[in-house]
Structure 1
């Protein structure tokens, strides 16, 4: 194969193709791992680092866990190390910044030119790396973007012998269809773990002719309460802001109560969000609302200091 320094390569391969050690240590190249470099003119990407990690492993190794998620562009939090898997303990190689696992190669697929764990296998592997809410975010994304089904995820976790299958199963039972964004998943999980009834996802309201009037991210149609996450786009884009104003006026006409949640209501003060929704549901007479919120949300969201 021709030597292409714009793709990750081993230092030994660079030397074999006429590059000197002085040149390889110079500003023209960037080190991804010890002994793995790439031309510094190429943009640094998660995929580039995963490819570099695989160069340090057996030729049959594949990207797994968080590295598989990065190749697939799944919504996961920052995880420093790269993760690869091999079929046998004797094939493992250890390097700084790289974790090597032993896994089952039967579920390996090729994506973006890289051998990676399949979607379901990756979800189970992430059970050991992500918390409950972040793993549900990945599950909802797999259903919405990759064609998985909640029931299939549950069955796969139940059958799996992977050491993290039990954690993955706990998350899979919360995975739902038609979730539009990670923040909607987090908001739904906050409500459910707080002990509130599980809201309906993406309820569609139609007029007398059957035309779609509006959709609600999360809702309790029995008492006409909608809970929605609004990101910065709703504030920064004038047209979106004006549409929101008109939409809320229509909601008032239909006697719906809209509870709007922004990022601070999830990351900074989730207890306030729970209290707001709880108060509205109680005032609307929802039959399944507990008199007091549960504390199950606290290990997964900010707010330990608000325990009182």
Structure 2
């Protein structure tokens, strides 16, 4: 096969095609791992690094855990090292910056030209790398974007013998359909972990003729309270901002109460967000709302203002 330096390659392969160590150490090449390089002219991508990691492993190895998530472009936080799996302990090879696991190859698929854990298998593997909220984010994404179902994730976790299946099962029980974004998942989990009733996800409001009037990200239809996350686009894009103003006027006419949450209300001061929504639900006499919030949310939102 022709040597293509724009794809990750082994140093030994480059030497066999006539390149010298001096050239490989020069500015024209970038080292991904010890003994694995790529042309510097190519942009650095997560997929490129995963492909480089697999070159150091057995030919039947596959990308798993966080590396599988990077190949699939799942919404996961930054996790150190690349992660691959092999079918047997004797096939493991150890390298700096690379974690090699022993796993079941039954669910391996090929995606973007890479052998990778299947969606459900990846979800279970991530149970040992992600916290509860981040894992629910991945589960909601798998359902919305990849065709999985909440029941499928729960069942797979129940049947799995993987060491992290129990953690994955805890997250799978919170996975829901039709969630539009990771921030909506985080907001929903903040409410639920604080002991508030679970809101409906993306409820469609229709008029008397069946036409769609509006949709709410999260809402409590029994007391007409809607909770929505607004990102920067709602402020920076004029048309979006104007649409929001008109929409809020319509909501007021229908006697709905809209509570808008921005990123700081989740990452910096989630307690304030919880107190706002708690007060509204109490004022509207929503059933099942207790007088106090639970503290179960605190370990999962460690950046909150009163963390100390």
Short-chain TM bin: over 0.9
2:171 is the counterpart of 1:137: no
* Contact residue 269 and residue 302 of structure 1 kept, 8 A: no
The structural deviation recorded for 1:134 is 0.2
* Contact residue 76 and residue 138 of structure 2 kept, 8 A: yes
Q: What residue number does 1:117 align with?
A: 117
2:165 is the counterpart of 1:165: yes
- How far apart are the structure 2 equivalents of 1:36 and 1:277? 52
Q: What residue number does 2:250 align with?
A: 250
* Contact residue 268 and residue 302 of structure 1 kept, 8 A: no
2:59 is the counterpart of 1:59: yes
Q: What residue number does 2:34 align with?
A: 34
Q: How many residues align?
A: 308
Matches within 5 A, 1:200-215: 200-215=200-215
The structural deviation recorded for 1:207 is 1.5
TM-score under structure 2 normalisation? 0.99
Q: What residue number does 1:6 align with?
A: 6
- How far apart are the structure 2 equivalents of 1:38 and 1:247? 51
Q: What residue number does 2:260 align with?
A: 260
Coordinate RMSD, CA, aligned: 1.0
The structural deviation recorded for 1:110 is 0.2
* Contact residue 268 and residue 305 of structure 2 kept, 8 A: no
- How far apart are the structure 2 equivalents of 1:106 and 1:251? 51
Q: What residue number does 1:235 align with?
A: 235
Give the secondary structure class of the aligned counterpart of 1:306: coil
* Contact residue 133 and residue 300 of structure 1 kept, 8 A: yes
- How far apart are the structure 1 equivalents of 2:303 and 2:292? 17
The structural deviation recorded for 1:305 is 6.2
Matches within 5 A, 1:68-147: 68-147=68-147
- How far apart are the structure 2 equivalents of 1:305 and 1:114? 42
Unaligned residue ranges in structure 2 (runs of 5+): none
- How far apart are the structure 1 equivalents of 2:224 and 2:35? 61
The runs of at least 4 consecutive aligned structure 1 residues that moved more than 6 Å come to none
* Contact residue 204 and residue 212 of structure 1 kept, 8 A: yes
Q: What residue number does 1:153 align with?
A: 153
Give the secondary structure class of the aligned counterpart of 1:185: helix
* Contact residue 226 and residue 256 of structure 2 kept, 8 A: yes
- How far apart are the structure 1 equivalents of 2:222 and 2:26? 67
- How far apart are the structure 2 equivalents of 1:165 and 1:80? 21
The structural deviation recorded for 1:172 is 0.2
Unaligned residue ranges in structure 1 (runs of 5+): none
Q: What residue number does 2:188 align with?
A: 188
The structural deviation recorded for 1:302 is 2.9
* Contact residue 123 and residue 168 of structure 2 kept, 8 A: yes
Q: What residue number does 1:224 align with?
A: 224
Give the secondary structure class of the aligned counterpart of 1:184: helix
* Contact residue 199 and residue 219 of structure 1 kept, 8 A: yes
- How far apart are the structure 2 equivalents of 1:76 and 1:31? 25
* Contact residue 271 and residue 304 of structure 2 kept, 8 A: no
* Contact residue 270 and residue 302 of structure 1 kept, 8 A: no
- How far apart are the structure 1 equivalents of 2:130 and 2:76? 8
Q: What residue number does 1:178 align with?
A: 178
Q: Which moved more, 1:296-305 or 1:214-223?
A: 296-305
- How far apart are the structure 2 equivalents of 1:132 and 1:212? 34
- How far apart are the structure 2 equivalents of 1:305 and 1:197? 24
Q: Once the two structures are superposed, what CA deviation does each residue of 1:93-125 show, in whole Å capped at 9, x if it has no partner?
A: 111110000000011000000000000000000
Residues 139 and 86 (structure 1 numbering): CA distance in 2 closer, same or farther, change over 3 Å? same
The structural deviation recorded for 1:304 is 6.3
- How far apart are the structure 1 equivalents of 2:91 and 2:2? 27
* Contact residue 270 and residue 304 of structure 2 kept, 8 A: no
